[in-house]
Amino acid sequence: MAHSIKTRRRPPARRRHAAALTVLVATTVLGACGGVEVRDGNDDQATEAADPSGDAPGPLELAVLPKAVGHEFWTTVRAGAECAAEQAGDVTVEWDGVTAETDVEGQVNLVQNFVTTQVDGIVYAATDSAALAPATQAALDAGIPVAMIDSGTEPQPDEVPLYATDNRAAAVEAANLLAEELGEGEHDVALIEFQPGSQTNTERVEGFTEGLAQHDNLTLVGQQPSHSDVNEARRVTEDILTANPDLAGIFAANEPSVLGAAQAVEAAGLSGEIVIIGWDAAPDEVAGLRSGQISALVVQNPFNMGYLGVTNMVNHLREGTPLESADTGVTFLTQENVDTDEAAAILEPSCDNPPVG
């Protein structure tokens, strides 16, 4: 049975600005999560919905921004966001993002653009916790509520919630899994982080380091960032392997880092000999888990991140419900539990039966 971390973050004790309408948000699933209907605002239904005296909720336009488009993780976040929009009804999700997590300035500009166009709410994951803080504040100053998914900012405004994994606690457990797989004796290990400056990266590095401190037989001999690029992850892993021929284990802290590290280990002819504990669950990662190339995966619930971000933002705008942070959960997958029903719900989420809670 997979383990789960369900520690709930302490919710912020404040309310956002009151919404103009008080309505009930529909909870019936309206269909597949491939997209949401875009209203032009000119038909009779849209006119009635915009009238506070009517019974129907007004249309909403939400901007949802990942750290970067293209990775499996963020595609699943989008599916959760669009599922929530369909359930709520008359909600448009404007999905937009930079092509690389290193394009911090590009994400700042995207947030600013959505502030300028006056969307109803912004839900996003910060590529850099310090650099995006002013952009978040600019949205709030313009009267646009903000919710963070996956990664927040520093400082994080009191009125801005975060829907994310407890990265630190999960990374501590990743260190424990690595120690368990390696067993007794002295072992050299390496850490492939991803994007320095990102809140999630910082928390995973700190958690893994904390976990290693509990195992005197594990020595961290190499630590390099992949900048969320598979080729870069492969290169830095190759460098670490060359410098440390006795390397026994690797913790790779996000999808591109895992894939690149696994490629480097395979190219060195060491698959199955070097223990890899990975993060996320892209199809190639899961295939590596099943084949034994990867020993365990720390699997987040990106569907839930997108789902909670949009659902709670809609409830806030339409009902005045306070925005409260939440831990979106994590599951540890191994060869023993990768084919269970619990794993299937996380690996292949559906809007008909969403893995949310």
What the block records as the tokens of 60 is 């909403």
How much is the pTM? 0.79
Q: What is the pLDDT of residue 284?
A: 97
What the block records as the tokens of 312 is 């709670």
Per-residue confidence band for 85, with pLDDT thresholds at 50, 70 and 90: very high
Weakest mean pLDDT among 53-62, 74-83, 95-104, 256-265: 53-62
| Residue intervals in the chain for CATH 3.40.50.2300 | 4-164+301-328, 167-300
Give me the long-range contacts of 9-13 (CB less than 8 A, separation at least 24). Answer: 9/162, 9/166, 9/325, 9/326, 9/327, 10/325, 11/161, 11/322, 11/324, 11/325, 11/326, 12/158, 12/159, 12/160, 12/161, 12/322, 12/323, 12/324, 12/325
Question: In CATH, which superfamily holds the domain spanning 4-164+301-328?
Answer: Response regulator (3.40.50.2300)
Quick one: 208 exposed, middle or buried, by C-beta within 10 A (0-12, 13-18, 19+)? Answer: buried
Residue 335, by phi and psi: left (phi above 0), alpha (psi -120 to 50) or beta?
A: alpha
Q: What is the pLDDT of residues 123-176, one digit of tens each?
A: 999 999 999 999 999 999 999 999 999 999 999 999 999 999 999 999 999 999
Q: What is the pLDDT of residue 176?
A: 98
**44: Cβ–Cβ under 8 A, 6 or more apart, which residues?**
none
Mean pLDDT for the stretch of residues 334-348 = 93
Mean pLDDT for the stretch of residues 82-102 = 97
Per-residue confidence band for 179, with pLDDT thresholds at 50, 70 and 90: very high
The answer to whether 196 and 129 have CB atoms below 8 angstroms apart is no
Per-residue confidence band for 353, with pLDDT thresholds at 50, 70 and 90: confident
How far apart, in whole angstroms, are the C-alpha atoms of residue 288 and residue 196?
Answer: 26
Flag whether pLDDT at 20 surpasses 50: no
Flag whether pLDDT at 17 surpasses 80: no
Flag whether pLDDT at 266 surpasses 60: yes
209: enclosing H helix or E strand: helix 199-212
Q: What is the pLDDT of residues 219-228, one digit of tens each?
A: 999 999 999 9
Q: What angle do CA 195, 65, 57 make, to 5 degrees?
A: 155
How far apart, in whole angstroms, are the C-alpha atoms of residue 103 and residue 106?
Answer: 5
Please name the fold of domain 167-300. Answer: Rossmann fold (3.40.50)
